[in-house]
């Protein structure tokens, strides 16, 4: 564990895409009262992997240095996976879970590609690839990691893709309505998307 200036640390860009939140008053108050600084998990190049809300709280409270622990891998796939998996304990909306799933699907695809390349380059590598071959559909593997079904993952990813599409088309009102529905019921939001696609 090392103390680093806050000014040297940067939030991981995917954090804003997945969680889009900041420190709430309760967290700020807790840090202020207890004056206990939990270390942030950072990459070798000082991007935050875990502790974005704490980072925000530390900044708002005027801290200049904070304790940090370096994540042991420099592999971007490992870092992306850790960004999600180190946030398992937090309360999340259905949209946040869907966006976590998108990231983990990207991780699964990248690892599958690495396995395929390793196998093509050396047939014997099948037994020595760093990542185990996962059984079943990627959505089921991701769902298991996030504690939801593969079907929920498939549906919620479809919905966030539609939210992003509507947002990029300037349909912010419809995107907000769909986001609200998603955070209430994944199946209702998925039905709305299916209806939109038919129209």
The Cα–Cα gap between 178 and 73 comes to: 37
Residues lower than pLDDT 50 in the chain? 125, 132-135
Contact between residue 66 and residue 37 where contact means Cβ atoms under 8 Å apart:
yes
The Cα–Cα gap between 16 and 22 comes to: 9
pLDDT at 135: 46
Rounded to whole angstroms, the maximal C-alpha distance in the chain is 58
pLDDT at 133: 46
β-bridge pairing 40-42 and 47-50: antiparallel
Q: Which residues pair with 40 in a beta bridge?
A: 68
DSSP-assigned letter for residue 132: P
Helical (H) or strand (E) element with 6? none
The token pair at 147 is: 């504690």
Contact between residue 99 and residue 160 where contact means Cβ atoms under 8 Å apart:
yes
Contact between residue 164 and residue 172 where contact means Cβ atoms under 8 Å apart:
no
β-bridge pairing 2-5 and 65-70: antiparallel
The Cα–Cα gap between 140 and 38 comes to: 33
pLDDT at 117: 82
pLDDT at 89: 81
The token pair at 48 is: 């935050």
pLDDT at 25: 87
Q: Which residues pair with 5 in a beta bridge?
A: 65
Number of H helices, E strands in the chain: 9, 5
| C-alpha dist (Å) from residue 67 to 10, 30, 38, 44, 140 | 14, 17, 7, 15, 37
pLDDT at 110: 86
């Amino acid at each position: 564990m090392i103390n680093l200036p806050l000014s040297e640390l940067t939030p991981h860009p995917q954090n804003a895409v997945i969680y889009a939140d900041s420190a709430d008053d309760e967290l700020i108050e807790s840090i202020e009262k207890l004056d206990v600084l939990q270390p942030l998990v950072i990459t070798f190049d000082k991007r935050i992997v875990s502790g974005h809300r704490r980072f925000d709280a530390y900044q708002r409270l005027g801290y200049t240095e904070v304790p940090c622990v370096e994540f042991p891998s420099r592999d971007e796939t490992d870092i992306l996976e850790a960004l999600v998996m180190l946030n398992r304990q937090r309360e999340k909306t259905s949209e946040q879970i869907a966006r976590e799933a998108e990231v983990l699907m990207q991780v699964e695809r990248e690892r599958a590609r690495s396995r395929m390349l390793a196998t093509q380059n050396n047939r014997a590598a099948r037994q020595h690839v760093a990542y185990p071959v996962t059984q079943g559909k990627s959505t089921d593997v991701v769902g298991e990691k996030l504690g939801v079904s593969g079907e929920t993952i498939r549906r919620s990813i479809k919905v966030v893709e539609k939210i992003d599409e509507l947002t990029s088309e300037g349909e912010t009102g419809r995107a907000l309505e769909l986001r609200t529905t998603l955070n209430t019921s994944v199946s209702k939001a998925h039905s709305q998307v299916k209806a939109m696609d038919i129209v």
